[in-house]
């Protein structure tokens, strides 16, 4: 994700996977349409789940959902949902092992704003989102498009000391707008998921390649 007012912290996303309640694992996962509302949650609700989960972790943590280099794989949010990390530093490849039967949830590319009034956050996110170009999601070489555009309402997350937002520990208001993905479970074996987005002004490409071993 990318914060709407740069050059402050860039949080561009090329991440996440999500959950469809009844789909059986296939050789290659499918992008779950919003109408299927995985586990009764809308795409916007999954975006809040992902954002809240990353806000609760410091950037230095190995299970942070914000990736600076290829050493993070996200984590299991529940027994059926795995949250994948997003890049804030160019194109990053991670090699991860995840349990079978997991839905993958992540933002492919988007913007986030925090710590302002709701109206200022809405204006900032709306303006910055227009700068996103060339969003791409592939699974095992298969083009799945750009995901689905998802905008959250203002929500509040508890952030720890030394958090990625550079704010004191405590409650923090956030809002985001993303190209978001929820993928159905992958079959056991090796798979490659790629999520990339390019931002204009200045031109910046952020993305993740997840080399997943499903066991």
Q: In a 3-state reduction of DSSP, which class is residue 35?
A: helix
DSSP code per residue over 110-131: EEEEESS-HHHHHHHHHHHHTT
pLDDT at 2: 67
What pLDDT is attached to residue 1?
66
User: For position 70, what pLDDT does the model report?
Assistant: 82
The 3-state DSSP class for residue 46 equals helix
pLDDT for res 49: 98
* Domain tally, the chain: 1
Range of 129's domain? 2-214
How confident is the model at residue 21, as a pLDDT?
Answer: 30
pLDDT score recorded for residue 12: 39
Burial of 185 (0-12, 13-18, 19+ CB in 10 A): buried
Residue 201 has what pLDDT?
A: 84
Tens-digit pLDDT string for the chain (215 aa): 666 533 333 343 433 333 333 333 445 689 999 998 789 999 999 999 999 999 999 988 888 999 888 889 999 999 999 999 999 999 999 999 999 999 999 999 999 999 999 999 999 999 999 999 999 999 999 999 999 999 999 999 999 998 989 999 999 999 999 999 999 999 999 999 999 999 998 899 999 999 999 99
5 φ/ψ angles, rounded to the nearest 5 degrees: -115, 95
The pLDDT value given to residue 71: 82
Q: What's the confidence (pLDDT) of residue 46?
A: 97
User: For position 69, what pLDDT does the model report?
Assistant: 83
């Amino acid at each position: 994700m990318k914060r709407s007012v740069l050059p402050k912290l860039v949080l561009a996303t090329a991440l996440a996977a999500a959950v469809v309640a009844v789909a059986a694992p296939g050789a290659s996962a499918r992008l779950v349409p919003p109408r299927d509302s995985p586990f009764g949650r809308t795409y916007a609700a999954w975006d809040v789940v992902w954002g809240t989960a990353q806000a609760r972790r410091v950037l230095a943590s190995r299970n942070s959902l914000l990736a600076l280099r290829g050493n993070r794989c996200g984590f299991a949010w529940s027994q059926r949902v795995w949250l994948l990390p997003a890049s804030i530093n160019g194109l990053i490849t991670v090699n991860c092992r995840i349990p079978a039967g997991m839905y993958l949830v992540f933002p492919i590319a988007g913007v986030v704003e925090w710590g302002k009034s709701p109206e200022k956050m809405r204006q900032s996110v709306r303006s910055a989102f227009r700068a996103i170009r060339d969003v791409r999601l592939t699974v095992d070489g298969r083009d799945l498009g750009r995901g689905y555009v998802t905008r959250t309402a203002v929500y509040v997350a508890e952030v720890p000391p030394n958090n990625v937002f550079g704010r004191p520990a405590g409650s923090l208001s956030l809002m985001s707008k993303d190209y978001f993905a929820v993928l159905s479970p992958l079959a056991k074996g090796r798979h490659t998921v790629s999520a990339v987005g390019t931002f204009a002004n200045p031109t910046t490409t952020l993305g993740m390649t997840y080399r997943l071993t499903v066991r």
